Amino acid sequence: MAITVVGSVAYDSIETPSGKRDRCLGGAATHFSLAASFFTDVRVIAVVGEDFGPRQEAVFSKRNIDTRGIERAPGKSFFWSGSYLDNLNEAKTHQTDLNVFAGFDPKIPAAYADSRFLFLANIDPVLQRRVREAMPGVKLVAGDTMNYWINDHKPALLEVLKGLDILLINDTEARTLAGENNLVRAARAIQAMGPETLVIKHGEYGASLFHKVDGRESFFKVPGLPLHEVVDPTGAGDSFAGGFFGYLAAQEKQTPAAYRRAMFYGSVMGSLAVERFGTERIANLDRAEIDTRFNLFRELTHLD
């Protein structure tokens, strides 16, 4: 069933030990939608500037992603530049220009209203909440956030958390949000804030699922894939979210077994995304590559 995602569609300038790219298509909503589009229909809500042209539009339309909710505004698109020269696990931000994103007021096209799945990518929690409230009919809501909102906009973020079924964040963010160093206790504290299900991402070490099965606490883990070269980590987390939530949305029932497979598909899409710069890998992916990678993850983790 269709997912609506709200988030950024942007341009990124990226430098890593493998090279650099200037102004390549990026943004959380972009990476999320591309990854999710291999599993289900995706509809995007975002704002772009006059620099967003047919070439960028084509990246979405090639994957049958609905872009009617991408508003065109006068000015330039959101722009980010950063590097990962010392540490592939953490970007060093050089520049962030909000541009048209500064005045973003998400509008939900009528055609999106029947979406049963909603993904609130990492944007201002005030906007996340506005979109959540405008779509009361959704069945499952997942969201992402980052340290900036946790540290400086916590009250607004806590309001968003109350309306989430699933929160995806990384280790450091989980520890900061919960004010607790032990990850199991941090997860419990965050679950008490709203999201019954928590996916904590560990960068190259994979991700952990904390949820409840038949009323009792349950865990599941998926490792990171050992890669000879991480070309560009930008968008890995959003691609994980796209694989994870895309797979879940495609299932008739979101059973515990579906959640476990969703974790695998998340790690599959994240591991593929980092093999090229920006959207280069996922935008040109073939479904069979996903299945091959899924089998690799199975071999990597299963005893028999």
Interface residues with a second copy (CB under 8 A)? 88, 181-185, 187, 202, 204-206, 208, 210, 219-221, 223, 226-230, 257, 260-261, 264, 298-304
Please report how close the Cβ of residue 222 comes to a second copy at its closest, in angstroms.
Answer: 8
Which positions ≥6 away from 27 have C-beta within 8 Å?
7, 8, 9, 10, 12, 46, 78
- Residue placing its CB nearer to a second copy in the complex, 85 or 113: 85
Collapse the DSSP code of 140 into the 3-class scheme (helix H, G, I; strand E, B; otherwise coil) and give the result. Answer: strand
Collapse the DSSP code of 34 into the 3-class scheme (helix H, G, I; strand E, B; otherwise coil) and give the result. Answer: helix
| Residue 7 · residue 120 · CB < 8 Å | yes
Tokens standing for 126? 């005030």
- Residue placing its CB nearer to a second copy in the complex, 78 or 210: 210
Cα separation, 239 vs 244, whole angstroms:
8
- Residue placing its CB nearer to a second copy in the complex, 193 or 300: 300
Helix axes 236-250, 28-36, angle to 10 degrees: 40
Tokens standing for 28? 């959380």
Please report how close the Cβ of residue 203 comes to a second copy at its closest, in angstroms.
Answer: 9
- Residue placing its CB nearer to a second copy in the complex, 148 or 219: 219
Please report how close the Cβ of residue 302 comes to a second copy at its closest, in angstroms.
Answer: 6
- Residue placing its CB nearer to a second copy in the complex, 111 or 184: 184
User: Counting beta carbons within 10 angstroms of the beta carbon of residue 190, is it exposed (0 to 12), middle (13 to 18) or buried (19 or more)?
Assistant: buried
Please report how close the Cβ of residue 274 comes to a second copy at its closest, in angstroms.
Answer: 12
